[in-house]
Structure 1
């Protein structure tokens, strides 16, 4: 398979006394003044154990037959596992694979592999999320997060088809299938594409190794998540399958509702690179590009922020991926005041529901010819 490397897109230099230089200095001063580490604290570790238990305890109860014959309890356990998947994905795995648990890379790597336990593959996730999404947010052809199926249009720079008129209605169905698709086919499709674009070297893995590891991880996942419950839960196979789907539909819908309003919004710039002297350039610096394509929501909701790993502070996350999310609520006012002082946008919605409604509005706008 001949490699077709992705085009190199360069952002404008940030320049002296830039926004990013100023905000980085102020955030660093905050940690120094308060004698804090930017890595995980005790609160983060407690949350980690809670999220793992939210997934593991219902599974153990279900697979050992504790809910046999009690349909309400049985499906409630699968439902809780769905929320456990959300918690692991947003508040545990995400931070670990960004390297924010500890300055020790081995600690982050170990915790990051929790993704394999819930059916994913860390190497492809890091390429899609850390390398492509965080570098080229909302840039068509480079940000994998907006490269979806043909039925969904997430950028005004993507081809339009007549059925996109109704995507604001049916997109939610596909959102429910997000994790199910991920845990079955997505990793394989990504590894083929990343091999084509010569991106696997970034994760120090060959194509053959990646295919082998994905297959082993999937066999392990489907073995414990479907085979063991069929054998030992005391429930018929079709109810096991129904519970499994309930878990994934719960996790897929909520995770999509967290991710999508962060970038697929009417306020997002969706800027495209311009070609000059044979090279692709962005008019803005990287940090300003991130501000223009990212939205925070529900900044005052402590419960939501706690559960979704601070991803409602998406601006802070994109600018400071090396800082653990438990610190976002404190550094957010610093980032906001600095952005406004530089005359830059700081997109923020007061509530989660308002952000979702505006995302739905954006889907409708993108559905227009």
Structure 2
């Protein structure tokens, strides 16, 4: 398979005394002056235990037949597992694969492999999220998070089709199926595409190794999530399948509703590279580009912030991927005041629902030719 590397896009130099240089210095001073580690604290480890328990405990009750014959309890357990998937994805796996639990890489790697336990593959996730999304946010053709199926248009720079005018209505169905698609076909499709773009090299894995590992992980996942419940839950196979779908629909819809309002908004710039001297360049520096394509929401909602791993502080997350999310509420005022000082945008919405409504509005705008 011949490798075809992705085009190299360079951002404008940040310059001396730049916004990024200033804000990183101020955030570093916050941790130093307060004698705080930017990694996980005790509260983070307690949360980790809770999120794992939210997924594992309902599973154990269900697979041991404790809910046999009680349909309400049975489907409630699957529903809770869906929320457990959300918690693991946003508050555990996400931080671990960004390396923010500990300065010890082995600790981060070990916790990051929880993704394989819930049906994913950490190698493709790191390429899609850490490399492509965080580097090229909202740049069509490079940010894999906006490179979706043809039925969904997430950028004004993507092709338009007549059916996109209805996407603000039907997008939610595809959001609901996000994790189900991920746990079945997405990892296979991605790893082949990433091999074609020569992106597996830095992950130190060959295509053959990746395909083998994905297959083994998927077999393990479907063995415990479907086969064991069919054998031991005391419920017929079709109810096991229904519970499995309920879990994924719950997790997929909510995760999408957390991710999408962070970037697919009317305020987002969706800037494209310009050709200069045979090279593709962005007019803004990387940090300024991130500010122009990212939105925070519900910063004062402590429960939501706790449960979704601070992903409502998306600006802070994009600028400081190496800092554990439990610190975002404290560094957010530093970031916001620095953006104001430099005359840069700091987009935020007061509530989660308002952010969702504005995202739906953006889907409708993107549906217009």
After TM superposition, the score normalised by the length of structure 1 is: 1.00
- Three-state SS of the structure 1 residue aligned to 2:189 is helix
Residue in structure 1 matched with residue 35 of structure 2 by the alignment: 35
Cα distance in structure 1, aligned partners of 2:228 and 2:140: 42
Cα distance in structure 2, aligned partners of 1:78 and 1:203: 34
* Consecutive unaligned residues in structure 2, runs of 5 or more: none
Cα distance in structure 2, aligned partners of 1:102 and 1:82: 27
Cα distance in structure 2, aligned partners of 1:202 and 1:284: 27
List per-residue Cα deviations over 1:102-157 (Å, max 9, x = no partner). 00000000000000000000000000000000000000000000000000000000
Is residue 13 from structure 1 mapped to residue 13 from structure 2 by the alignment? yes
Cα distance in structure 2, aligned partners of 1:281 and 1:171: 32
Cα distance in structure 2, aligned partners of 1:333 and 1:162: 43
Is residue 273 from structure 1 mapped to residue 277 from structure 2 by the alignment? no
Cα distance in structure 1, aligned partners of 2:14 and 2:38: 24
- Three-state SS of the structure 1 residue aligned to 2:67 is coil
Residue in structure 2 matched with residue 232 of structure 1 by the alignment: 232
List per-residue Cα deviations over 1:207-257 (Å, max 9, x = no partner). 000000000000000000000000000000000000000000000000000
- Three-state SS of the structure 1 residue aligned to 2:348 is strand
Cα distance in structure 2, aligned partners of 1:28 and 1:198: 35
- Three-state SS of the structure 1 residue aligned to 2:363 is helix
- Three-state SS of the structure 2 residue aligned to 1:272 is coil
Root-mean-square deviation over aligned CA pairs? 0.3
Residue in structure 2 matched with residue 210 of structure 1 by the alignment: 210
List per-residue Cα deviations over 1:312-359 (Å, max 9, x = no partner). 000000000000000000000000000011000000000000000000
* Equivalent residue pairs, number: 369
Residue in structure 2 matched with residue 295 of structure 1 by the alignment: 295
Residue in structure 1 matched with residue 121 of structure 2 by the alignment: 121
For residues 116-265 of structure 1, the aligned pairs below 5 Å read: 116-265=116-265
Residue in structure 1 matched with residue 46 of structure 2 by the alignment: 46
Is residue 109 from structure 1 mapped to residue 72 from structure 2 by the alignment? no
* Consecutive unaligned residues in structure 1, runs of 5 or more: none
Residue in structure 2 matched with residue 349 of structure 1 by the alignment: 349
- Three-state SS of the structure 2 residue aligned to 1:101 is coil
List per-residue Cα deviations over 1:24-64 (Å, max 9, x = no partner). 01000100111000000000000000000000000000000
Cα distance in structure 2, aligned partners of 1:158 and 1:11: 21
In the TM superposition, what is the alpha-carbon distance from 1:202 to its structure 2 partner?
A: 1.5
Cα distance in structure 2, aligned partners of 1:201 and 1:224: 32
Cα distance in structure 1, aligned partners of 2:264 and 2:311: 15
Cα distance in structure 1, aligned partners of 2:160 and 2:66: 51
